[in-house]
Amino acid sequence: MTFYKERWIKENDLEQKLIVTFSLKYRYYQRQIRNKQLERATKLISTNPKSIGKKRQNDYKRFIASTNVTSDGEVAEETLYHLNSNTVAEESIYDGFYAVCTNLDEDASEIARINHRRWEVEECFRIMKSEFKARPVYLQRDDRIKAHFTTCFLALVLYRYLEKDLDNQFTTNEIVGQLKDMNFYCVPGQGFIPTYTRTDFTDALHDTYGFRTDYQIVSDKEMKNIYKRLKSKKSTQN
């Protein structure tokens, strides 16, 4: 169960709604993550303390504190490391809480629902970078850079439509990877011979869009008819 609390705040002449949620499930998740990080920190202290360097905000090393003096107040010959119980206690106070600032007028539950889908935006960036090779960009002219990112964006849009049409049955790797493998051998004057292996994905693709290309040969006429039917179907949906 999730609990909501909201109030309007004003900062730098900008009025926003602050929504704070609390979830027992989220608290349990945060504690699981922290316990694993504490295990890593404890292991690092006992096995390789010399590798303890700079600590990032969410790095498990943030739980490690160092002491350079003895209990008598004298300077120690070696740096001693230990788990910082104060840091653990300070973080645990906020377990289960999540805060969002927004200018939307919807109620807290609706805004929380929208925010829960933020992972889809983050996933889009990941797909653009990994599957569609949006970066790095080895281009210098502005028009070519724009063309590159436009192509990547259009590919992402088409992928999202396909993912939705297939009822989210397949992962990104399955969809992109198997589409790349759906190759054909072109026989001039006769048609196209499929060279790919039939899978659950190709079956779902054919069933969803009402065509088949896994026969022994697909004639030129039939391939053109497939293009026409798909184009007509998308126009009807839009």
pLDDT tens digits in sequence order for the chain, 238 residues long: 566 666 767 666 677 888 888 888 889 999 999 999 999 999 999 998 878 877 777 788 899 988 776 666 666 667 778 899 999 999 999 999 988 888 888 888 888 777 777 778 888 888 888 888 888 888 889 999 999 899 989 999 999 999 999 998 998 889 999 999 999 999 888 899 999 999 999 999 999 988 889 887 888 888 888 888 877 766 666 5
Question: Residue 73, by phi and psi: left (phi above 0), alpha (psi -120 to 50) or beta?
Answer: left
Question: Across the chain, which distance is largest between two alpha carbons, in Å?
Answer: 93
pTM (predicted TM-score): 0.54
**Residue 229 neighbours by CB under 8 Å, 6+ apart:** 209, 210, 211
Q: How far apart are CA 19 and CA 3, in angstroms?
A: 10
Q: How far apart are CA 103 and CA 177, in angstroms?
A: 40
